[in-house]
Amino acid sequence: MPILNILRYPDPRLHKVAKPVTSFDARLKQLIADMAETMYDAPGVGLAASQVDVHEQLVVIDISETNDQLQVFINPEIIWASEEKKVYDEGCLSVPGIYDGVERPAEVKVKALDANGKEFEIHAKDLLAVCIQHEMDHLKGKVFVEYLSPLKRNRIKTKLVKEEREMQRHSGNRK
């Protein structure tokens, strides 16, 4: 199972809207396995297919300390969100090293399909609720920094573009 390449903000591909998954085949199961391995390797607690340049409505999440409780959400849909909001410091594998507070509903109820196409519902709160909402944003072409002020967002973009240039320059020197 290969480790997939995670797109880095401000890559424009992160803004593509994902299409619903319609085929529950071996390719999908392999993608889920590769995404899980990529997420654990990064390390992270969630990864949307959009972040690995596959624009399908697929999210993998594991908020356990032991990395053994993988949850798969295909074509997820929030069917209820609490009026109560909470601010969590969020980070993102596509925005490495950046963490900032984002206000979201404290609890959500989500309807989704599993890897076999079977529908399920889950009531999520705390970190899982944040994670689901964060990853679902990716499927809509939205990155968490878009909740921040334009000034913060531009600083983050400038910092990451500069880091990317540095990495490319250093990898170019090794050839």
- Any known ligand binding at 138? yes
Whether residue 15 is annotated as binding a ligand: the answer is no
Tokens of 124: 């999520």
Task: Check the annotation: does 134 bind a ligand.
Answer: yes
Active site residue 135: yes
What distance in Å separates the CA atoms of residue 156 and residue 77, rounded to the nearest whole number? Answer: 29
Question: Which residue in 135, 146, 164, 166 is the catalytic one?
Answer: 135
Q: How far apart are CA 91 and CA 107, in angstroms?
A: 19
- C-alpha distances in angstroms, 27 versus 30, 31, 115? 5, 6, 11
- Three-state DSSP state, 61: strand
Binding positions: 92, 134, 138
Residues with active-site annotation: 135
Binding positions for Fe cation: 92, 134, 138
